[in-house]
């Protein structure tokens, strides 16, 4: 198994959780209102007029003016035209350091020429799709199986959400049981049945507008790091249909925004084994980013099913896959069934496993492997995080910075650190109001970073790639410092 991991030292979840607990008790520190007004005028209005005009038009045709949740930005989203390595360029010709990385897929940096050339070659030969088998379906599946020891077979999907949906079905068929347990706050795509306990632990169906509550009859959540709560739920489920699977984001909910104790995953694995539930690792973010063998390689865990997304198609469309042990994967059908002895899950996708996603995924994984890209990106994440921690100290801010390799967190308001306690229902409205207020400040911070040439994920997460070098990280830190110098305590 490949043991080159992006994480050089695992963050102490207890220490970080304590800091985040303190952060959400403090008043909000954010970009000063005067500085924000200057950014809005001198940057967004004066230097981004073409983006502004295009978004104004787009709002007539696209709800909210953007198609992608992560592209939302105050005071308006910027239109990107070029992406190369660690840089992005907008319609008005402004350049940025890219710490969003399309939401995670581009461990090699944007648009690496080696992968692009292979995609163009393929397009010239056979076009984007035929609906029939292509050699790269096999090559990618083999590469994934060789890289991730628990994965004996792989099926590609259009997205991580679809692959999670398939995992639910396979788990129920393989175990003959009903219930799915997930960690509160974790994200497993936007399908109806998994739209439960999203963003904040304890929210149950509160974020699932448009989903009838009966769909959650067999979905439950437990709080991160609370093994006792998980075991209680597993025990209770024995009397009501059993547990088909426990879904885990292995570095913690929302890509490690709430970090997990180092031993947590192993302990979840032991619990799953003793209750005969399948363990599903959602490695949509961590797969081929934490290392070629995934977060499961790092934690030494062997899940039954693994969900892939993002890096598996190298930033190209069709980024979803479900891998796992043959015993479970045999419950996925290939083609419409008739007269088979075991019931299989009918899943599909006209555009799943297209030659484009498979060729891009295959050469991306080969290149990550060849160049030790996960570790390089991780070292850049370490340097960025350390630099941010020093700035936080120098400016005496209550912010919290930590990283799991190339996944870096810069928590300025701790929005995602709240949770809902149903034993105190009168607090729910307070949590909802407080998180909304803090999210607004996070957007302001995100837009200040943007005006200083830094594209972040929603103003609080930063992905580094192997396209960065030390000098670029240091330049980015100078830009962060300019923003921090305008931060002040926000009075209500
Ligand atoms: N699982 C995790 C852990 C994710 O982070 C995401 C997307 N951010 C998904 C599933 C869903 O993947 P997709 O957006 O490709 O549907």
How far apart CA 490 and CA 437 sit, in angstroms, is 11
Q: What is the DSSP string of 153-189?
A: EEEEESSHHHHHHHHHHHHHHHH---EEEEETB----
Ligand 1 neighbourhood includes 249 CB (under 6 angstroms): yes
8 Å CB contact between 182 and 234: no
Compute the distance from residue 349 Cα to the ligand 1 centre, in Å: 17
Q: Considering the domain 113-371 in this protein, what is its CATH number?
A: 3.40.640.10
How far apart CA 8 and CA 380 sit, in angstroms, is 11
What pTM was computed for the model? Answer: 0.97
| Tokens matching residue 338 | 């008739």
Residue in 2, 1, 3, 8 with CA at minimum distance from that of residue 464 = 8
How far apart CA 151 and CA 302 sit, in angstroms, is 9
Compute the distance from residue 166 Cα to the ligand 1 centre, in Å: 13
Compute the distance from residue 471 Cα to the ligand 1 centre, in Å: 31
Helix axes 355-371, 373-394, angle to 10 degrees: 70
DSSP β-ladder status, 278-282 and 243-248? parallel
Q: What is the pLDDT of residue 472?
A: 98
How far apart CA 265 and CA 227 sit, in angstroms, is 10
What is the residue with the minimal CA distance to atom 13 of ligand 1?
A: 160
Ligand 1 neighbourhood includes 284 CB (under 6 angstroms): yes
Ligand 1 neighbourhood includes 252 CB (under 6 angstroms): no
Delimit the domains of the chain by residue range: 13-110+372-489, 113-371
Q: What is the tens place of the pLDDT at every residue in 356-403?
A: 999 999 999 999 999 999 999 999 999 999 999 999 999 999 999 999
How far apart CA 195 and CA 210 sit, in angstroms, is 10
- Tally Cβ neighbours within 10 Å of residue 54: 17
Largest CA distance in the chain: 71
8 Å CB contact between 206 and 418: no
| Average pLDDT for the chain | 96
- Tally Cβ neighbours within 10 Å of residue 152: 14
We find that the CATH architecture of domain 13-110+372-489 is: Alpha-Beta Complex (3.90)
User: Which stretches of the chain score pLDDT less than 50?
Assistant: none
Query: Same CATH fold, 113-371 and 13-110+372-489?
Result: no
Query: Hey, which of 188, 199, 284, 295 would you mutate to test ligand 1's pocket, going by the most ligand atoms within 8 Å of its Cβ?
Result: 284
How far apart CA 188 and CA 143 sit, in angstroms, is 24
What angle is formed at CA 286 by the lines to CA 257 and CA 217, rounded to 5 degrees?
70
């Amino acid at each position: 198994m490949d043991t080159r991991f992006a994480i050089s030292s695992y963050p102490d979840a207890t220490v970080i959780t304590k800091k985040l607990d303190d952060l959400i008790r403090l008043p909000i520190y954010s970009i000063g209102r005067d500085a924000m007004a200057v950014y809005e005028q001198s940057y967004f209005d004066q230097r981004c007029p073409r983006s502004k005009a295009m978004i104004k038009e787009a709002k007539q045709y696209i709800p909210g003016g953007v198609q992608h949740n992560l592209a939302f930005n105050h005071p308006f989203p910027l239109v990107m035209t070029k992406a190369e390595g660690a840089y992005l360029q907008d319609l008005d010709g402004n350049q940025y350091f890219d710490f969003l990385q399309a939401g995670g897929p581009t461990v090699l940096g944007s648009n690496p020429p080696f992968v692009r050339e292979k995609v163009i070659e393929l397009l010239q030969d056979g076009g984007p799709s035929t609906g029939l088998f292509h050699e790269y379906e096999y090559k990618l599946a083999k590469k994934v199986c060789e890289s991730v020891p628990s994965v004996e077979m792989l099926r590609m999907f259009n997205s991580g959400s679809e692959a999670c949906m398939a995992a639910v079905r396979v788990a129920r068929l393989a175990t003959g049981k009903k219930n799915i347990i997930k960690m509160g706050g974790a994200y497993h795509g936007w399908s109806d049945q998994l739209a439960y306990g999203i963003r904040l632990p304890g929210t149950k169906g509160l974020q699932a507008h448009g989903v009838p509550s009966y769909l959650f009859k067999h979905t439950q959540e437990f709080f991160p790091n609370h093994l006792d709560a998980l075991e209680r739920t597993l025990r209770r489920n024995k009397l009501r249909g059993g547990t088909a699977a426990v879904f885990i984001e292995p570095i913690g909910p929302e890509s490690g925004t709430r970090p997990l104790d180092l031993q947590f995953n192993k302990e979840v694995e032991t619990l799953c084994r003793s209750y005969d539930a399948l363990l599903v690792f959602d490695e949509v973010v961590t797969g081929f980013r934490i290392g070629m063998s995934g977060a499961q390689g790092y934690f030494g865990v062997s899940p039954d099913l693994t969900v892939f997304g993002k890096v598996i198609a190298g930033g190209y469309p069709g980024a979803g896959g479900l891998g796992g042990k043959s015993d479970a994967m045999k419950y996925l059908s290939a083609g419409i069934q008739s007269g088979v002895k075991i019931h299989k899950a009918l899943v599909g996708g006209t555009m799943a496993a297209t030659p484009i996603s498979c060729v891009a995924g295959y050469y991306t994984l080969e290149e990550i492997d060849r160049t030790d890209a996960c570790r390089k990106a991780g070292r850049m994440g370490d340097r960025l995080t350390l630099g941010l921690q020093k700035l936080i100290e120098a400016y005496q801010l209550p912010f919290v910075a930590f990283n799991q390799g190339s996944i870096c967190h810069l928590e300025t308001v701790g929005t995602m650190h709240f949770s809902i306690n149903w034993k105190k229902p009168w607090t729910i409205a307070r949590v909802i109001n407080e998180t909304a207020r803090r999210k607004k400040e996070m957007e302001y911070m995100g837009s200040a970073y943007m005006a200083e040439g830094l594209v972040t994920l929603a103003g609080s997460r930063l992905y580094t790639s192997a396209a960065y070098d030390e000098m670029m990280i240091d330049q980015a830190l100078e830009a962060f410092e300019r923003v921090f110098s305008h931060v002040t305590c926000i009075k209500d």
